[in-house]
Structure 1
Amino acid sequence: MDLKKFNATILFCFLLFSISFGQPANETSSLLGGIASIVFILAFVVILLILGGVIKKVRGGIPGFLIFFIVLVLVLFIIPMFIPYPQYIEVPENFKVAPLPSYAAQVFMMLGLPEEWMYVPAIIYLFILPFAAIYTLVWGFLQSLGMFTNVPSSINRVLAFIVAFLTIPMGWFVKLVWLLFSFMGAWSVAVFVATFVVGIFFRGYSVAKKEYSVALQTYESLQKDLQNKLSELQRKADELSQEDIEREVNRLAEKYGGLYPTVKDLAAKVVGAKSVDEKRKLVKEFKLS
């Protein structure tokens, strides 16, 4: 990720953060809480950008980069433990469309989820999607460590699920979810949406640029190959019979005619020529354009 992309992302995030500080102050949006929330979200954003490939790993400096990545993950999970905010924030009414069946609610509450979450779509927004995010985050972290290289890849998935699942009875899961709801409210959602949009744009741009570069190299390679074969055909044109010239030119038109229509035109002219001398002249005078 080059400097321009990184600066654009950070500038956009800090713009939203500065707007959030302008909101009415309350118990959970004090200066200390605002700074802590910025650290939390920035850590989460940077981790997503790293896992998404927007921020490239530094070649030749993997240990230092890995330490930086581990610190970010630790910050992400430790900060919620030291930020004072209400244990349970009221679930929005539009999250309480329909209650869960009693048996399902009992299972979720036994795992450690608050009773206020036992509604649809609250269980989706507050449990299923955050759990999927934490699972993906831990799995990507384990993949980047590369500790289990000689074992099936499913090991990392199982470990990621166990770690994500253990955040529930330990209370981290609820704290992580409430942290996003208590700090900056809709602004945190805006930051994540903006980050994903910017990340997808930069990712798409880099992929498109890479594909264009590969296509250009392939085109140049084909052009060079065609030019060599044409030069060889022009050198030995006087030694070839009428049938040989037509066969060689048609072979080139079949292979390269899609990219170079002029080769097809040459083949048509050669086939239409009446004498072998005329065919040889067409081949010798042809220039690839």
Structure 2
Amino acid sequence: MEKIKEVLVFLLFFLLLTINVSLAQSGGGTTTMNEIRETLVNIAKDLIPVLFILGFIVLLFIVAKGGMPSLPGLPGGGGINLGLILYAVVLFLLFMLPLFIPYPTILEVPENMKVSPLPPLAANVFLMLGLPEQWMYVPAIIYLFILPFAAIYTLVWTFLQMLEVFTHVSPNVNRVLAFIIAFLTIPMGWFVKTVWVLFSFMGIFSVVVFAAIFLIGVFFRGFVVATKEYVKTFKTYENVWNELQSKLDELQKRVDNLSSEDIEREVNRLSEKYGALYPKLKDLAFQVLDAKGVENKRKVVKEFKL
């Protein structure tokens, strides 16, 4: 908690220092409220690209981590999912910041991204969706639309997965909702604003990074989840094996006291319960059934090994 306070105090002093330096550079005259407001707006405009990049990095770490840190020990029990809250706040800011960005008037892309124009039919579809005409080239459409759209879709889908609202329905529900939300950013102008802020801040590199870090992050998250599921499955399989081995040991110890019918019944019971995982039990059941005499059946059971 003390470290958090130190960081907040540092950020406060840093912000005040930045404002004072900006005001000092604006001239030596009397500072009016309009000048202060304009200075704050200029500072905010300068910080927007940085906030985007920092937001992407923060979300990458949260997505790639695969687990959300929690804050336990609160009154009344339970805990606060700090990772989910942080993810929600950053995602909210990333969707709100475009509201304060003017729609770009110059959407010209570099010539090296205009290798080949899109086919007329494809270009008309993208134009109908609301994309700028200047993007109707290859590879511009890849870097400026396909990769960022995939990244935004991944962001929203991951957020919906973390919320776990639709747990008793098909997992495709989250995918459809994520696609709809990502798609709606295009006619609202957020998509073009977001991409253009990134593109103007760091050029094509940031647009590629924007898409890549989340796609890679989700890959790592999927890898972590798959590893957890594998470990869980392995432990379940191990528990079943231990349970079966215990029952087999018990059967082999008391098989001398069982009749022929009892041996067949016990073996068939094990075969029905565990035969799907251990086909050798089905073979044991057939061997016991084919064995002539109770002594031969006992011998088959005693010699059996998983």
Q: Judge same fold: TM > 0.5, yes or no.
A: yes
**Paired letter, 1:56:** M
Cα offset, 1:72, TM superposition: 0.8
Kindly report which structure 2 residues correspond to 1:215-226, keeping only aligned pairs within 5 A, or say none.
Answer: 215-226=234-245
Kindly report which structure 2 residues correspond to 1:1-289, keeping only aligned pairs within 5 A, or say none.
Answer: 36-47=48-59, 54-56=66-68, 58=70, 60-61=78-79, 67-80=85-98, 88=106, 90-100=108-118, 113-135=131-153, 137-138=155-156, 141=159, 157=176, 161=180, 164=182, 167-185=185-203, 187-188=205-206, 189-190=208-209, 192-193=211-212, 196-197=215-216, 199-232=218-251, 234-241=253-260, 245=263, 255=274, 276-277=294-295, 280=298, 283=301
Higher RCO (C-alpha under 8 Å, 6+ residues apart): 1
Contact 1:245 / 1:279 at 8 angstroms: preserved in 2? yes
**Judging changes above 3 Å, is the alpha-carbon distance between structure 1 residues 282 and 121 closer, same or farther for their aligned structure 2 residues?**
closer
The TM-score with structure 1 as length reference comes to 0.58
Return 5+ residue gaps in structure 1 as ranges: 1-30
**Paired letter, 2:152:** I
Deviates more, 1:82-91 or 1:188-197: 82-91
**Judging changes above 3 Å, is the alpha-carbon distance between structure 1 residues 194 and 34 closer, same or farther for their aligned structure 2 residues?**
farther
Cα offset, 1:177, TM superposition: 0.8
Deviates more, 1:271-280 or 1:197-206: 271-280
The TM-score with structure 2 as length reference comes to 0.55
Cα offset, 1:215, TM superposition: 1.9
Q: Secondary structure at the match of 1:91?
A: coil
Cα offset, 1:204, TM superposition: 1.1
Contact 2:150 / 2:211 at 8 angstroms: preserved in 1? no
Give the Cα separation in 2 of the matches to 1:250 and 1:148.
Answer: 42
Return 5+ residue gaps in structure 2 as ranges: 1-42, 73-77
Contact 1:49 / 1:199 at 8 angstroms: preserved in 2? no
**Paired letter, 2:90:** L
Give the Cα separation in 2 of the matches to 1:166 and 1:69.
Answer: 20
**Judging changes above 3 Å, is the alpha-carbon distance between structure 1 residues 146 and 55 closer, same or farther for their aligned structure 2 residues?**
closer
Alpha carbon RMSD of aligned pairs, Å? 5.3
Cα offset, 1:178, TM superposition: 1.5
**Judging changes above 3 Å, is the alpha-carbon distance between structure 1 residues 201 and 137 closer, same or farther for their aligned structure 2 residues?**
closer
Question: For this pair of structures, how many residues does the alignment match?
Answer: 255
1:15-46 Cα deviation digits (max 9, x unpaired): xxxxxxxxxxxxxxxx9988643431332344
**Judging changes above 3 Å, is the alpha-carbon distance between structure 1 residues 209 and 89 closer, same or farther for their aligned structure 2 residues?**
same
